[in-house]
Amino acid sequence: MNVLQVSAEIFPLVKTGGLADVTGALPAALNAAGCDTRVLLPGFEPIMADLHSTTVLAELTTPWSEPFVLRVGHLASLNLLAYVIDLPLLYQRPGTPYEDDQHQPFADNYRRFALLGWVASRLAGGLDANWQPQVVHSHDWHAALTSAYMAFSPAQRVHVASIYTVHNLAYDGLFAPRHFFELGLQSSALSVEGMEFHGQMSFMKAGLFFSDYITTVSPRYALEIQTHEQGYGMDGLLRLRAKELVGIMNGVDEVVWNPTRDPALVHPFDAHKPAGKSRCKAELQQELGLAVQSDAPLFGIVSRLTEQKGLHLVLSVLDEMLARGGQLVLLGAGDASLEAAFRERAAANPQAISVHIGYDENFAHKIFAGTDVTLVPSRFEPCGLTQMYGLKYGSLPLVHHVGGLADTVVDCSLEDLANETANGFVFYHFDSQSMVRAVRRAFALYARKAEWRAVCTRAMCQSLGWDTAAAQYVALYRRLCL
């Protein structure tokens, strides 16, 4: 089955969050399950640099009359065939894929990502005479117009199914309606039964409305986004489309996230030979200037510093953690006030708290390997990969019971310890009091070394790879292509 994946990011070339980890790992998993998967990507500089054996598939003109080249080639880092939109004026700029170096969204993002969907629809319509997709699978708001363009394309000889995956409903791609007529869509697309959303045009809504099928990244999140609390105004549409909506749990790339052969680690380890983990912890403590104490539980955070991630709760329970002898290492960036608050706490407690603002993939691996507990206290979390990385590296997740966190982490309650299903710590109310009780459970279990080791072994032995998710996607693709 020929599958075209459409996304703005792909690990290890362009990454701002978990989206890239998913779109970087899923194609290989689909290919292993019997698909012929290709990707369509914007021509960001790292992608262009990695594209080998490239040829020009077509010279095209955007709906707003700007010429560009569509290339096809081989992504060396991923061993994957890719179509890449070569238009440097749109995609090769300082900053992130979405913002300039002043952290302001690019004013023409509506064009930059509408073009991604427009090109996907052309490929669906047979632009490549040598390869015809049967399924076009687009990811998040950046690729959401794919389904709209496909819906308004001329009737095709071959039916091509459209699937849209919501990675985070909170980021919806809203733009002023005055830009609509640059995009080359029929005027009826900008209506209530289309992409109009409270007087604006929403790329996210276009994906939800026009796709043949909608998936999201965990079973629980598929239910949560149908509620007023987490639907961001789209819950009515999602309830209407509930029969065409499913949650498929993301996986972990077990080649990249594997403590037995992780190149970032000097001391590899696994569930049955865990000695390397204690060495990783001591090395991390020493490197960060923390007190080198094996009996001090080391908590880790690898996260965007945003309100969604619940990091104000961490600040509120820090005194309790420190009073009990715990330590904290944080890697992340985002909200300036959160950055400042964590820096201030680290300055006041340099032997117990280490804060690194920014992102470093190598350092992230070291944090998961060296910490005892991974903190993920998110207000909402569609899937969460961080808690799964923690599980793979024996850094037990401490999470809020929401979204994919609830789907993957079982609390170390007495009954779940007894029936050998516990793999972390869970709090059920999004407040400091509830979180501090989970922190206390972590300290209590850490003091019981044999039980802690048993839970870590169970966590590390879990199967979290992409094969299960890939099988579910392939079954869905086949059903839609019947």
| 78: helix, strand or coil | coil
Q: How many CB atoms lie within 10 A of CB 46?
A: 13
Domain boundaries, the chain: 2-251+466-481, 275-461
Specify the DSSP element, H or E, that contains 323.
helix 311-323
Give the tokens for residue 68: 């560009």
**Closest CA relative to residue 466, chosen from 474, 476, 477, 454:** 474
Strand 2-6 and strand 135-139: the pairing is: parallel
Pairing of strands 213-216, 51-61: unpaired
CA atoms within 13 A on the CB side of 238: 26
Cα distance between residue 101 and residue 82, in whole Å = 28
**Cα gap 350→433, rounded to integer Å:** 26
The pLDDT score that the predictor gives to residue 206 is: 98
In a structure prediction context, what are the per-residue pLDDT tens digits for the chain, which is 482 residues long?
999 999 999 999 999 988 999 999 999 999 999 999 999 999 999 999 999 999 999 999 999 999 999 999 999 999 999 999 999 999 999 999 999 988 899 999 999 999 999 999 999 999 999 999 999 999 999 999 999 999 999 877 788 999 999 999 999 999 999 999 999 999 999 999 999 999 999 999 999 999 999 999 999 999 999 999 999 999 999 999 999 999 999 999 999 999 999 999 999 999 999 999 999 999 999 999 999 999 999 999 999 999 999 999 999 999 999 999 999 999 999 999 999 999 999 999 999 999 999 999 999 999 999 999 999 999 999 999 999 999 999 999 999 999 999 999 999 999 999 999 999 999 999 999 999 999 999 999 999 999 999 999 999 999 999 999 999 999 999 999 98
Please state, in angstroms and rounded to a whole number, the distance separating the CA atoms of residues 202 and 222. 20
Report the interhelical angle of 449-461 vs 432-446 (nearest 10°).
Answer: 110
DSSP letter at 3? E
Yes or no: is domain 275-461 CATH 3.90.1170.50?
no
Helix (H, G, I), strand (E, B) or coil at 20: helix
In CATH, what number does 2-251+466-481 get? 3.40.50.2000
pLDDT, residue 158, reads 81
What phi and psi, each to the nearest 5 degrees, are found at residue 290?
-85, 155
- The set of residues, in sequence order, having a beta carbon less than 8 Å from that of 323 and lying 6+ positions away, is none
**Counting Cβ atoms within 10 Å, is residue 103 exposed (0-12), middle (13-18) or buried (19+)?**
exposed
Tokens 């209530």 found at = 192
Cα dihedral: 112, 115, 119, 122 (round 10): 180
Domains 2-251+466-481 and 275-461 share a fold: yes
Strands 36-42 and 396-400: unpaired
- The pTM score is 0.94
Token duo for residue 222: 């598929």
Q: Using an 8 Å Cβ cutoff, are 151 and 193 in contact?
A: no
Contact predicate 188/207, CB 8 Å: no
Show the CA angle centred on residue 340, arms to residues 338 and 342, nearest 5°.
Answer: 70
